[in-house]
């Protein structure tokens, strides 16, 4: 697989690609937005554009987070049941999210950004738990800014080497092969867990309790 055309497209439209990819993944669609965000700084013309990239990525992710939040607000626990079936989620994903909320309250949104699965459940639980919208938005923006800044700064430091590795180093095929095997192993594990029984969807009382 030749990655150069895709990297060339990111190089030509770094801000648009980062915005759209961040929005799409935050909305719940599987997408490699973290990889894109890590590579994008390598294509920036000036260091001043690093801050612009952080702002664009944050805006896209926060807008995308509104999808599970509003769905949780409108559909309640039914959304969690649907998401569990679609993603083959295990009990641990929901339980981890609820544990965050019980321990930290709405501030759990600050930590959920670092886990894609937990983040989606956190936004949906925030909607189900009827956290006020200004409070939800404040925590979500703050957590997203911290996460995005860390990833972009790492990309600014290693992005060029990562791009060179993916386009010129023959070892990239080993890396891609390992990535495919890891993805297949994850799907296999979730299917196995699914056979043991679907994830337990919490009641509305359980979701609202920590808020």
Output the six-digit token pair for 91: 């009990």
Both tokens of residue 120? 């989606």
pLDDT for the residue 31: 80
Residue-level pLDDT at 183: 57
d(CA 180, CA 166): 15
User: What's the pLDDT score for residue 45?
Assistant: 75
Tell me the C-alpha distance between 152 and 145, whole Å.
10
The reported pLDDT for the residue numbered 157 is 84
Residue 201 and residue 80 in contact, taking contact as beta carbons nearer than 8 Å: yes
Are residues 109 and 153 in contact, defined by beta-carbon separation less than 8 angstroms? no
CB–CB of 144/62 below 8 Å?
A: yes
Do the beta carbons of residue 159 and residue 56 sit within 8 Å?
Answer: no
* pLDDT for res 80: 66
Give the global pTM.
0.74
Spell out the domain ranges in the chain.
4-208
What is the model's pLDDT at position 119?
A: 77
Query: Sign of the CA dihedral 21, 27, 31, 34?
Result: positive
Per-residue pLDDT, 210: 46
Place of tokens 């969807």: 201
Structure tokens that stand for 104 in this block: 């930290």
112-150 pLDDT, tens per residue? 777 766 777 788 888 877 678 898 999 999 999 999 999
pLDDT at residue 96, as a whole number = 67
Which pLDDT does position 19 carry in this prediction? 96
From CA 28, how far away is CA 49, in angstroms rounded?
27
pLDDT below 50 — which residues of the chain? 175, 204, 210-211
Rounded-to-integer distance, Cα 7 and Cα 19, Å? 16
């Amino acid at each position: 697989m030749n990655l150069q055309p895709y990297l060339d497209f990111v190089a030509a439209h770094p801000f648009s690609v980062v915005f759209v990819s961040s929005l799409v993944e935050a909305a719940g669609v599987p997408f490699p937005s973290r990889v894109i965000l890590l590579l994008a700084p390598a294509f920036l013309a000036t260091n001043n554009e690093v801050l612009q990239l952080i702002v664009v990525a944050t805006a896209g992710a926060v807008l995308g987070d509104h999808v599970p939040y509003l769905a949780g607000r409108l559909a309640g626990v039914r959304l969690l049941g649907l998401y569990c079936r679609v993603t083959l989620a295990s009990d641990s994903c929901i339980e981890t999210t609820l544990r965050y909320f019980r321990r930290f309250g709405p501030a759990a949104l600050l930590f959920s950004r670092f886990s894609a699965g937990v983040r989606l459940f956190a936004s949906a639980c925030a909607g189900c738990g009827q956290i006020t919208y200004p409070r939800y938005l404040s925590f979500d923006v703050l957590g997203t800014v911290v996460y995005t800044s860390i990833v972009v700064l790492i990309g600014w430091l290693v992005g060029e080497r990562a791009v060179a590795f993916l386009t010129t180093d023959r070892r990239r095929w080993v890396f891609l092969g390992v990535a495919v095997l890891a993805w297949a192993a994850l799907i296999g594990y979730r299917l196995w867990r699914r056979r043991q029984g679907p994830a337990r969807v919490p009641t509305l009382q359980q979701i609202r309790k920590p808020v």
